[in-house]
Structure 1
Amino acid sequence: MMQNEYVPFFSEVKEVIRHTDIEYTFRMAYEGQVKPGQFFEVSLPKFGEAPISVSGIGDGTIDLTIRRVGRVTEEIFEHYEGDRLFLRGPYGNGFDADLYKGKELVVVAGGTGLSPVRGIVDYFARHPQEVKSMTLIAGFKSASDILFKEDLQRWRKSMKVILTVDSGEETKDCKVGLVTEFIPGLGLGDAASAAAVVVGPPVMMKFAAGALLKRGFCEENIWISHERKMCCGIGKCGHCKVDDTYICLDGPVFNFTKGIRLVD
């Protein structure tokens, strides 16, 4: 008998971590292989489903950081520890840590774009010997929008963290300005052999990647992740199709040499 790929499974909410008024991380029970940057379809009967990126991988758990922005996520926010949600996945290709090992690595994340790269940043924070150097540039609209504050403090111990907000007052740990402003001054030994990951809104990815290229990075050493809305997750509905590419199947992580053609 063929398995119905649309049938979800129950997952228990193990913990809920509140970051802002509208952004929580739901730590869900999950046993199986999963990569940072992949996504799950999270659903509730009568309300629908929404694609949510994996923002953390634990022992028997996955983290799904969800923003309260619509009918489905409004209802998900009513479920807390001990409750259960429906999941399908994981879908997509995710980030491959092996591609960045032995390199100078720069991660540029804008807003909720920090969620899908949190797993790869955390991996190298725990294994700093596997990269030559590590720099994270994370930008948010304001100080009240900053996600993963405890992680950011922990990551500072093993990598260079540049935390920035679009507006507000500069502090010891947080600068003011767009993420692109901090790329030209990156201290790198050899930008041409360095690797970069860029995730955020399309316009941010476009200009951040452009700044990296001006800094000396090679196109083939830059990876981006699309946050384009996926529906079925298995390449059947065509909702995320761009030309001949299905974001849910071929992505959402792309090498810049292909991904740039998919940026609106």
Structure 2
Amino acid sequence: MNPYMTYPAKIKKITKHTDIDYTFFIEKIMDVKGGQFIQVSVPKFGEVPISISDYNDELIELTIRKVGRVTDAIFNKNVGDNLHIRGPYGNNFDPEIYFGKDLIMVTGGTGLAPVKSIINYFHKHLDKLNSFKLISGFKSSKDILFKESFEKWEKNMDVCLTIDTPEEGWTGNTGFVTEHVSKLDLSNIDNVGVIMVGPPPMMKFTGMELSKLGIKDEQIWVSFERKMSCGIGKCGHCKIDETYICLEGPVFRYDKTVKLID
């Protein structure tokens, strides 16, 4: 069997979040888990790795940012058209790791997408956690993803949705996620579990703030996606030292990633 073989998946729905961020709901033709990624291709244009933002028995959600040739071609697709996919690849966030813990999730920008399914899982199973705190930051109010989901989450979860700087008409939180992390009041450090996903600088400085609170790197999990191409450890684009991100990740414990020197 050719590992590069793709299979058509019909687009069932498209949701626009911003001018450059859409979620494509495609028919579920494979079993997936939150934190994994799939390769999405458009014939004649190429392929791109996309995180799975959510899924159910019938659909897979792919939140895609329009940033280049392949994603431009994807954005030209309509409901009823096919996207060609292969995978899934990589490991996943395991919800059971956090059972009984005080879970803190920190996301920056589109870093919310790879963990949306995990948030939705715990939204339905809050009884499996001791507590839950979501801190999610965006550059501006125009850049916020999944607004309807935030409205749902805020009904029974502790959510801090923040934008970088104040703007007219915005009545919510402002400031970088690191500012809100530094304000966390944690009573039992040893029972804390953290998931953080976002741009590398955001994760670096968030990790520093968490360390100041007494949280160890071993208590933190991240999604560390970078330059992935083939998805099966053959091309070497994602390799750092001896680690293939597509095979051993993209989900890592933080004490592993801080040792990966690019």
Question: By the TM > 0.5 criterion, same fold?
Answer: yes
CA distance in 1, matches of 2:261, 2:156: 32
TM-score scaled to structure 1, two decimals?
0.96
Identity %, equivalent residues: 52
What letter corresponds to residue 126 of structure 2 in structure 1? P
Deviation larger for 11-20 or 219-228: 219-228
Q: What is residue 253 of structure 2 aligned with on the other side?
A: 255
Aligned to 1:20: 18
2:221 counterpart (219, 223, 239)? 223
2:230 alignment partner in structure 1:
232
Unaligned runs of 5+ in 2: none
From 35, 40, 58, the counterpart of 1:42 = 40
Q: CA deviation at 1:210?
A: 1.3
Give secondary structure in 1 for the equivalent of 2:117.
helix
Q: CA deviation at 1:191?
A: 2.0
Preserved CA contact (<8 Å) 1:25 1:65: yes
Quote the offset at 1:193 in angstroms. 1.9
The 3-state SS of whatever aligns with 1:118 is: helix
Matched, 1:79 2:77: yes
Which amino acid is the alignment partner of residue 177 of structure 1? Answer: G
Aligned equivalents of 1:84 and 1:261: distance in 2? Answer: 40
Paired residues of 1:201 and 1:227 also in contact (CA < 8 A): no
CA distance in 2, matches of 1:93, 1:111: 22
Residue 106 (structure 2) pairs with residue 108 (structure 1): yes
Report Cα offsets for 1:193-225 as digits up to 9, x if no partner. Answer: 200001001111011011111112122110011
Q: Is the 8 A contact 2:241 2:261 kept in 1?
A: no
Shift of 1:171: 6.9
Aligned to 1:152: 150
Q: Distance in 1 between matches of 2:172 and 2:258?
A: 30
Residue 173 (structure 1) shift: 6.0
For the structure 1 residues 263 and 30, does the alpha-carbon distance in structure 2 shift closer, same or farther, using more than 3 Å as the test?
A: farther
Hey, which bits of structure 1, 4+ residues long, moved more than 4 A?
170-173
Tell me the amino acid that sits aligned with residue 77 of structure 1: F
Query: Displacement, 1:168?
Result: 2.6
Write the letter of the residue equivalent to 1:44: V
Taking only aligned residues, the RMSD between alpha carbons, in angstroms, comes to 1.4
Could you tell me how far 1:32 is from its partner in structure 2? Answer: 3.4
CA separation in 1, counterparts of 2:156 and 2:117? Answer: 15
Over residues 162-215 of structure 1, what are the superposed CA-to-partner deviations in whole Å (9 max), with x where a residue is unaligned? 011112338786211000001122233312220000100111101101111111
The whole-number CA distance in structure 2 between the counterparts of 1:263 and 1:134 is 32
From 206, 209, 214, the counterpart of 2:207 = 209
Q: Is the counterpart of residue 136 in structure 1 residue 134 in structure 2? A: yes
Paired residues in the alignment total 262
Structure 1 residues 56-75: aligned runs within 5 Å: 56-75=54-73
CA separation of 1:173/1:37 partners in 2, compared to 1, >3 Å: closer, same or farther?
farther
